[in-house]
Amino acid sequence: MSPHSRKTSRAVARAREARAAMRAGQTLHLQHRDGRRQWSLSDGSLLAADAAEILIHHPDVVPADSALFSNLPGQTWKYDDRQVR
C-alpha cells in the first residue's frame, strides 16, 4: 500500500469514527487558529482536515449554522439522519 493510500485510509477511518460520535450527539466545529483551520468534535478531540473534509461531504452531516463568508464552510456541523434517502 502506498503512503498516499495509507493516509487516505486513515482519513476515511477517522471520518467514520467521528460520524459515529456525531450520531451519538457530538457536533463538529471549525475554528481558525494561527491562520489555519482546526476541526474538533464537541468533546474537544481534534480531527485532521482531510478527515473533516470527508465527513462534511457525507449526506447525513449537515451545517448547523451559516458560514461567515460564502466561500468558507460552516463553523458547526451536526448529524441528521433525516437527510439520507
Per-residue model confidence (pLDDT) at position 30: 92
Looking at 1-85, list the stretches that DSSP marks H as alpha helix, in order from N- to C-terminal side. Answer: 3-23, 49-56
Category of 25 on φ-ψ map: left (φ > 0), alpha (ψ -120 to 50) or beta: left
pLDDT of residue 74: 76
Burial class (CB in 10 A: 0-12, 13-18, 19+), 85: exposed
Contact 51, 2 (CB under 8 A): no
According to DSSP, the β-strands at 46-47 and 61-63 are unpaired
Q: Is the pTM of this model over 0.85?
A: no
Render each residue's pLDDT in the chain as its tens digit; 85 residues.
676 677 789 999 999 999 999 999 999 999 988 988 899 999 999 999 999 999 999 999 998 877 677 777 778 999 998 855 4
Query: What's residue 65's pLDDT?
Result: 79
To the nearest whole percent, how much of the chain has pLDDT over 90?
60
Is residue 66 within 8 Å of 74, Cβ to Cβ? yes
Tell me how far apart the alpha carbons of residues 3 and 23 are, in angstroms, rounded to a whole number. 30
